[in-house]
Structure 1
Amino acid sequence: MAVAVTMVRMKVAILRHSMTGQRGGMVATAGTLGVVLAAGTIYLASLDGDWLAAAYAVWMLGWIIGPVFSGGGDETLRPEYFALLGLPLHRLAAGLLVSAFVGVAPAISLLALSGLTVLGVRQGGLAALVALPAMVVQLAVFVLLSKVAVAVLGIALRSRVGAIGAGLINGAVLAFLGQGWVFAMAFGQGGQIPPLVRYLPSGWGVLAVQGDFAALAAMVVLIALLLAAWAALLNRRAGASRPSARGRRPMRAASAREAVLAKELRTWTRDLVRTHQLTFALAYGVFFAAAPLVLGWTGMLPWAGPIFIVMAASMTSNLYGLDGTAHWLTLMTPGASDVRGRQLAWLVTVAPVAVVLAVTFTAINGGPWPMIIAVTAALLGGGAGMVPLISVYALVPGIDPQRRGGNPLRTSEDDGALTGLAYLMMVLVAATAVPAAVVAALFGWPGVAVGVLTGALCFWGLGVRTERRLAARGPELLDMMRTGRRPASSGMAFKLPEMPKTARTVTITCWSLGAVPLFPQGILAAVFLTNGQLEHSWFLATYMSPGLRWPTAVFMILLGLTMYGLGLWIPARYRKVV
């Protein structure tokens, strides 16, 4: 108990001193969005069927998959900090578990789990009493599943096979989660959620409230097993990783650009974090595009390649930050620039896989060839140009690879900034393909020429801009990489200026939620309407009368664009005032 109390006090002190400035505003905004989602979950408790169990399954997947994007999840207190204290593993695991309940995410999850109380009140007095311990026990299951998943993934990333396997599993799970409407339509019965969801660990709390007290006992047993597994994994994590001593073929580069290209290609093949990221992007693109096959629709298959490119750019958006202080080697060489070499290495790594996916799946579907070729060409050039540019302009200070701890996913101390950078990269890279997609949709094959031209211009022009930025701000960027502190006058293009909390909240909300009306409810809904896919799903346009379907899809596209425009205009307005 003393260990747990001490760790809780440490966690509270660290959070109290870190919730300031921009990070505090981002946490407040994320907390507000979380409260909205929790309120929606509580509402589902008033509906008949298994909607509440299905919602808790989504929350559980969020706890498991979320750490992949947030650098390993909440590790305010790391196991490595206590390795020299000689604490027994079960006491260390128990103390870290108790401290894990302190934070915004557990509080929001507990609020969402209060839906069990609403369900219990509907069932009767005894069920309402059972709901109270079921809430706490269910939250403990969520937290421990997250901790064990992160620990297993950290160990998996110590080997190439493990990194590839973890990337495949995580990409597939997240893709299927994003395409949940497909499985709801395929396996739903009369518009209801299939009963299977209540038998998942996330649904055991619902079963307990409904009178199955064995489910409550099963959650207690599961907690004990997960705690034991986590304690064992903590012991593996505290051990030192052993680097490979295998000999390497020497590089034979004839020019500086070839040397950078060879170095980057070796980094892409040897850094297990990058291996995991690219495998994750590949699995996500393939499974996301293949999910509608459950309904017998192959129309999304050709988009596997473009989706892979966008996700690969998103996962590698902090390219320079991953290298850390190694950038001083380039800065110490007068007139040297490694931008073109990095761009070529990114293309060599991503382009062959993307082209194979695009050609193969488009052939299976029988088209549309002009659209897919045009978009793929534009995205490859846009990704090769945007990745180094954004990683320089919005660099997030990373942890030097040789100093990474027992959790290889944690490549930076600023997890929120990394997540925001990944989402920003998705939008910017996708935007580079808009001209080619519009021309291809209107005129067909001329869109391919526009896509090639757009990609070439992005590759060349954004590369030039990156080189100029490095030449002008190289020492400041290196100091940021070395110290981890962002100077007040760093001139980061995507850093929010000082603004009122309301304006900051609106800005972050627009950037966080703008993709919902723009892509799924707008662009994707328009694709469904074009192909005559009018079955009721989570697309609002399919529920409208025939005369309002297209206006609804267009309105959603305009709403998404307006949200992104507002997210750009508000910071620009306050930046001008300052």
Structure 2
Amino acid sequence: MAVAMTLVQMKVAILRHAIKGPQGATMSSAGVLGALLAAGTIYLAFLGGDWLAAAYAVWMLGWIIGPVFSGGDETLRPEFFAPLGLRQHRLAAGLLASAFVGVAPVVSLVALGGLVVAGAREGVVGALVALPAMVLQLAVFVLLSKVTVGLLGVALGSRVGAIGAGVINGVILAFLGQSWVFAVAFGQGGQIPEFVRYLPSGWGLLAVRGDYLALAAMAVLVVLLLAAWAALLARRTGRDRPSTRGRRPMRPATARQAVVAKELRTWTRDLVRNHLLTFALAYGVFFAGTPLVVGIPDMLPLAGPVFIAMAAAMTANSYGTDGTAHWLTLMTPGASDARGRQLAWLVTVGPVGVVVTVAFTMITGGPWPVILAVTPALLGGGAGLVLLVSVYGLVPGIDPRNRGGNPLRTSEDDGTQTGMAYLMLLLVACAAAPAMTAALLFGWWGVPVGVVTGVLWYWWFGLLAERRLTTKGPELLQLMRTGRRPGSGTSAFAMPKMSKPREAVVMVCVTLGAIPLIPQGVVAMVMTAEGQLRHSWFLATYMPPGLRWPTAVVMMLVGLAMYVTGFRLWHQAKKQAAHKAQEA
């Protein structure tokens, strides 16, 4: 008990200081968005049926896949307490108690308040049972997240495990991203599948409805998950560093060839990169294939473009994740590895993206002009933007040799790194916009536009990144080493200080802007061009003939306007913060 209270006090102290620092804006924005989702979940409790069980299943999936992006809650790392000689079950119990302190657990507990509503509908006993059910259900969510981090850490110790974990996480996130498909499928069937209520996320709901064995089952599951987590903690804090196998020596003829060889070797040896690349591929394939559940094959050609965009987003902080290895470039006069990194990224992502794009487009028979125009634009834009965004908005990462027992934790500021990934998705989409527009308006003439713009983005963005490295190389290395930007204490992509309503607007615009832009805009345009009408939730396909294209265009403009609004508010607050810093 003393260990748990001490760790809880440490977590509270850390969060209290974090709220006052640059992470405070991110935490408050996440809290606002989470509160909205929690309110929506509680509303479902008044509808009856299994809607609440389905909502809690989504919350559980969110806790499970969250570590894919953030590495999990690592405010208190198990490695910090290994020298104390604590028994693993005491350490696990203490860390579990501290894990209930934070924005995500509080928001989840509020969402679980729907159990009280559901229990009250059953009577006084149901309302009383809801209280322990809420605590046990939250413990299940938190422990599932912790066990997921531990299992991913074990999986990332081998290439097969890293690839398998990437596939599983990509599939889960793709299903969540296409949740409308399942909503339509459930609507067509008239009800949510019965198995949803029997998932661990639905056991609390079963308990308040009179099945008290579900309450006991949750308690047993908590104990089992705690034991599993303790075993994973023992493996994490006690393992040795893996040995490296001998490889053929690299004998490049030029500095650029050396960078390409080094990067290609890193792509094959770094298991975190293996995991992220596999995750991007699985996400692209299943994101495009999920609408087949309701008989819509039209999104299949997007598998390759979505994979390319997601691969760019996952590797947007390439210099930050490589850490202080940049000193090797600085110590080589006249050397700049921007072009070499670009080429290595293109060689790694390009062939896979092209094969997936062509194969899935052949299944549907088109639209070839749009797909063949967008793909080279995305590849060129991605290869250029990955380097440009990384050097201009570098987020200091943890050196690969110091990643510890959680390889997914590549940065101390995961909120900013996640924001960088969202920004990269927007920038890559903008890079492909001219080619897509030309293909939609002029058919096959869009293909040369895509090739030309792809080459232009590759050359121009790479040139800007190379110049940045040449002029600001020492400052970037200092940022990587110390985590402090000269003249500023935050990353270029950190959320600046602004009013709470503006923070909420920025979060809503960035998070939801993709809905009108991609499915209601781009996908609806493709469906309209192919004559695929009256499909599920695509508004333009239900409009009269004269309003279909205007509706799709308006939805695209709405999505772009949301992104522009969010970026402008962020940029204005950033300029005001910089101005105040200069005055001070």
| Shorter-chain TM band | over 0.9
Given the superposition, is the C-alpha separation of residues 102 and 547 from structure 1 closer, same or farther in structure 2, using an over 3 Å criterion?
Answer: farther
CA displacement, residues 51-101 of structure 1 (integer Å, 9 cap, x when unaligned): 10000000000000011011x111111111111111111111111111100
Report the residue type matching 1:417 in the other structure.
Answer: T
Given the superposition, is the C-alpha separation of residues 287 and 523 from structure 1 closer, same or farther in structure 2, using an over 3 Å criterion?
Answer: same
Which residue in the other structure is 1:176 paired with? 175
Matches within 5 A, 1:149-164: 149-164=148-163
CA displacement, residues 132-191 of structure 1 (integer Å, 9 cap, x when unaligned): 111111000000111101100011001111101101111111112222222343455543
Which residue in the other structure is 1:75 paired with? 74
* Aligned 8 A contact 1:158 1:241 in 2: no
3-state DSSP class of the match of 1:343?
helix
Which residue in the other structure is 1:560 paired with? 559
CA displacement, residues 538-565 of structure 1 (integer Å, 9 cap, x when unaligned): 5566787888766654443222221222
Q: Distance in 2 between matches of 1:495 and 1:210?
A: 45
Matches within 5 A, 1:341-490: 341-489=340-488
Please tell me whether residue 569 in structure 1 is matched to residue 565 in structure 2.
Answer: no
Post-superposition offset of 1:567: 2.0
Report the residue type matching 2:66 in the other structure.
Answer: G
Q: Distance in 2 between matches of 1:79 and 1:574?
A: 37
* Aligned 8 A contact 2:133 2:207 in 1: yes
The TM-score, its normalising length taken from structure 2, stands at: 0.94
Report the residue type matching 2:318 in the other structure.
Answer: L
Given the superposition, is the C-alpha separation of residues 238 and 204 from structure 1 closer, same or farther in structure 2, using an over 3 Å criterion?
Answer: same
Q: Distance in 1 between matches of 2:174 and 2:536?
A: 17
Report the residue type matching 2:14 in the other structure.
Answer: I
Which residue in the other structure is 1:44 paired with? 44
Which residue in the other structure is 1:252 paired with? 251
* Aligned 8 A contact 1:362 1:368 in 2: yes
Q: Distance in 2 between matches of 1:497 and 1:140?
A: 33
* Aligned 8 A contact 2:416 2:494 in 1: no
Post-superposition offset of 1:490: 7.9
Report the residue type matching 1:80 in the other structure.
Answer: E
Which residue in the other structure is 2:63 paired with? 63
3-state DSSP class of the match of 1:216?
helix
Please tell me whether residue 19 in structure 1 is matched to residue 19 in structure 2.
Answer: yes
3-state DSSP class of the match of 2:46?
coil
Post-superposition offset of 1:194: 1.7
Which residue in the other structure is 1:290 paired with? 289
Report the residue type matching 1:46 in the other structure.
Answer: F
Given the superposition, is the C-alpha separation of residues 150 and 213 from structure 1 closer, same or farther in structure 2, using an over 3 Å criterion?
Answer: same
Count of residues in correspondence between the two structures: 577
More displaced 10-residue stretch of structure 1: 188-197 or 485-494:
485-494
Post-superposition offset of 1:500: 4.2
Given the superposition, is the C-alpha separation of residues 21 and 511 from structure 1 closer, same or farther in structure 2, using an over 3 Å criterion?
Answer: farther
3-state DSSP class of the match of 2:22?
helix
Given the superposition, is the C-alpha separation of residues 189 and 129 from structure 1 closer, same or farther in structure 2, using an over 3 Å criterion?
Answer: farther
More displaced 10-residue stretch of structure 1: 559-568 or 470-479:
559-568
Given the superposition, is the C-alpha separation of residues 190 and 536 from structure 1 closer, same or farther in structure 2, using an over 3 Å criterion?
Answer: farther
Which residue in the other structure is 1:314 paired with? 313
Which residue in the other structure is 1:240 paired with? 239
Q: Distance in 1 between matches of 2:165 and 2:56?
A: 23
Which residue in the other structure is 2:32 paired with? 32
3-state DSSP class of the match of 1:293?
helix
- Identical-residue share of aligned pairs (%): 71
* Aligned 8 A contact 1:298 1:365 in 2: yes
More displaced 10-residue stretch of structure 1: 489-498 or 380-389:
489-498
* Aligned 8 A contact 2:416 2:495 in 1: no
* Aligned 8 A contact 1:518 1:558 in 2: yes
Alignment gaps of 5+ in structure 2? 580-584
* Aligned 8 A contact 1:382 1:429 in 2: yes
Report the residue type matching 1:41 in the other structure.
Answer: T
More displaced 10-residue stretch of structure 1: 246-255 or 548-557:
548-557
Post-superposition offset of 1:369: 1.5
Report the residue type matching 1:239 in the other structure.
Answer: G
Considering only aligned residues, what root-mean-square deviation do their CA atoms show, in Å? 2.1
Report the residue type matching 1:92 in the other structure.
Answer: L
Q: Distance in 1 between matches of 2:498 and 2:214?
A: 49
Matches within 5 A, 1:493-512: 494-495=493-494, 499-512=498-511
* Aligned 8 A contact 1:159 1:272 in 2: yes
* Aligned 8 A contact 2:420 2:493 in 1: no
3-state DSSP class of the match of 1:432?
helix
Report the residue type matching 2:30 in the other structure.
Answer: A
Q: Distance in 2 between matches of 1:7 and 1:392?
A: 37
Post-superposition offset of 1:222: 0.7
Post-superposition offset of 1:495: 4.9
Post-superposition offset of 1:519: 2.1
CA displacement, residues 236-273 of structure 1 (integer Å, 9 cap, x when unaligned): 11123443342211112111110100000001100000
3-state DSSP class of the match of 1:22?
coil
Q: Distance in 1 between matches of 2:10 and 2:134?
A: 25
Which residue in the other structure is 2:125 paired with? 126
Matches within 5 A, 1:77-156: 77-156=76-155
Given the superposition, is the C-alpha separation of residues 575 and 411 from structure 1 closer, same or farther in structure 2, using an over 3 Å criterion?
Answer: closer
* Aligned 8 A contact 1:507 1:570 in 2: yes
Q: Distance in 1 between matches of 2:528 and 2:203?
A: 39
Report the residue type matching 1:160 in the other structure.
Answer: R
Post-superposition offset of 1:530: 4.9
Report the residue type matching 1:9 in the other structure.
Answer: Q
Please tell me whether residue 270 in structure 1 is matched to residue 244 in structure 2.
Answer: no
More displaced 10-residue stretch of structure 1: 353-362 or 558-567:
558-567
Report the residue type matching 1:244 in the other structure.
Answer: S
Q: Distance in 1 between matches of 2:28 and 2:104?
A: 11
* Aligned 8 A contact 1:185 1:191 in 2: no
Report the residue type matching 2:12 in the other structure.
Answer: V
3-state DSSP class of the match of 1:487?
coil
Please tell me whether residue 518 in structure 1 is matched to residue 490 in structure 2.
Answer: no
3-state DSSP class of the match of 2:377?
helix
Which residue in the other structure is 2:582 paired with? none
Given the superposition, is the C-alpha separation of residues 279 and 190 from structure 1 closer, same or farther in structure 2, using an over 3 Å criterion?
Answer: closer
Post-superposition offset of 1:533: 5.2
* Aligned 8 A contact 2:394 2:492 in 1: no
Given the superposition, is the C-alpha separation of residues 361 and 488 from structure 1 closer, same or farther in structure 2, using an over 3 Å criterion?
Answer: same
* Aligned 8 A contact 1:370 1:448 in 2: yes
Please tell me whether residue 4 in structure 1 is matched to residue 16 in structure 2.
Answer: no
